[in-house]
Structure 1
C-alpha cells in the first residue's frame, strides 16, 4: 500500500469501496434507550469516584498552578467525552481491552481507570519513566511499541485513544501509525485519533505573524529590506505544503536528536486524513470533530469492520 505524503497527492484515489454495515445494524427505540442508559450509568459512576489527583514529577504536561491543574483535568474529561460520543455512535459501551497511546504521565489514563473500571487497560509511551509511574500509580499494563510503527501493536483492542502523537510525525510516519493503530483494533473496535487540523495550522500562522516573523523563503529579502526580521520555517510550510496539499510538517532538531527519528510538528487537514483512511475497506469513519480534544486538536473516530 502506498503511503500518502505531503507531496504525493496527484496519484489516483482508490476505487470505490463497498464498506461493511455499521454495528449494530439497526437501532430501534429500545436499543437506543439502552445505549443512552449505559452511557449515563458510566458517567454517574465516574462522578461518584475519586480520580487520583497526584501527578508524576516526570509529567511535563502539567502547569502547576490552579489554572494549570484545572486545564489538566479538563483535558482528561475531553477524552471521556469523545469516547462517550464514540459509544453513542457505535452502540458499543463496554470495551474490554483499552489502549492509551501515548499515556504520558497519565493525564487521560487516570480518568479511563475510573470510567472503565472493569476493563483491561494498557499503556505505552517513549518515555520509560512516565510509563513506570503510570503503571505503578494506576495498576495498568505496559505494552511495548516500536517508535516508528514498523511493527504491529501487540493485542487487539476494543478502544484505542491517541492523544497528541501523530501531531509530531511527518506524512509517511503519520500514515503508517494510523494504519498500525487500525490493525490493532478488534472487530468493531474504535480508534479515537487526535490530530492538529486547520484550526491548529491557523493558530500557528497567527502566532508567527504576530511575532513579526516572515516565511523562511523570504529570509534574505526581508533581511535586506527590513533589517533582520527573523524567518519562520513553519510559516513557509503552512503557505506551501499545507496550502497546496493539506499537510505540512516542520522538524524540531532537538526532538529528532532525543527520539532518534524525525520528530516535530505536523498539520493535517481533515481532507488529508480522510485520504489515509480511504486506502482501507475495513475501516469506517464514524465521526470527525474539529477542535474536539481540548478545544484545540481535531478528533477522528474510526471503527474497524467487524
Structure 2
C-alpha cells in the first residue's frame, strides 16, 4: 500500500523526452496546408495581382508607349507613327493651356496643403478630446468625403449661382462665381477643400487614437502646455501619418478632375492637367499620343511622391 502513491506519481509524470524539446520549450506541431488551402491562397494572391496588372500597370505602360506616337485613336494600329519626344516638346512649347494648368495644379496643392490640411488636423485634435456629440461631428465632417466631386460641384452651385445662389443673395452681388475666370478657381478650391478637410481629419484622428497616453502624461508632469505638448511630443510621433497626408494631398491635387469638368470642362480659368488629358484623349480632336504625353507627365510626378512614401514606410518597418 505504501508503494501505490509512488506508482501513481510515476504514471502521471510524462517522460522527460516527450515533455521537452532539445531547446527546452514545448514541442510544436507544424500543420501543412491542404491542397484546398493552397488553391484558396493562390487565388487570393493571383486574382488581385491580375486585376492590378491588367487595369493599372498595363494601361500605364501603354500610355507611356503611346506618348511617343502620333495617332488619333480611331485609325488602324498600322497608322501609328513614332515621333519620339516631339509630343513632350509640343506640350511644353506649343500648348498654351499647359502653363495655366500647371499653375492651377500647384495652386490646388498649395491650398489643400496650407489651408485644408491644417484645418483638418485641428478638427482631429478637437474631436480627440471626446467632446459631447463627437460622433455626430465626425459623421457630419466626413460626409463630404463620401460624395463625389461632381456631386459636390452641384451642391456648391446652390451657393455660387449668379441668379439664385445663396452667396450672392447674402452679399447683394451678382458675381458669376463659376463663370468668371478671375474668381472661379478660388470658388472651386473652397469646394474641394471642404471635401478634403474631412478626409484629413479622419487620418489624423486615427493617428491620435494610437498615440501612447503616457507621452501626454509625461509632458503634463513636466508642465508643458497643450500646444507645446502637441507640436513637441505628439506631432513627431505622427510622422507616418504626416507622410501619408503629404502623399494623399499631392495625388489629390494632381487627379483633381470631376469638379472642373462638371463646371466648364476645364476651360476659362479652370485648366488642370487631368482636364487637358481628357480633352486630348476623348475630346472632339482626339490626339492619343499628345494626351498620353500629358498623362505620362502626371504619372512621373505621382510616382516620385509614391516612391518617397514607400521608402519612408520601409524605413520605419526596419526600425
| Band of TM-score, shorter chain | under 0.3
Instruction: Say which one has the larger Rg.
Output: 2
TM-score, normalized by length of structure 1? Answer: 0.25
TM-score, normalized by length of structure 2? Answer: 0.25
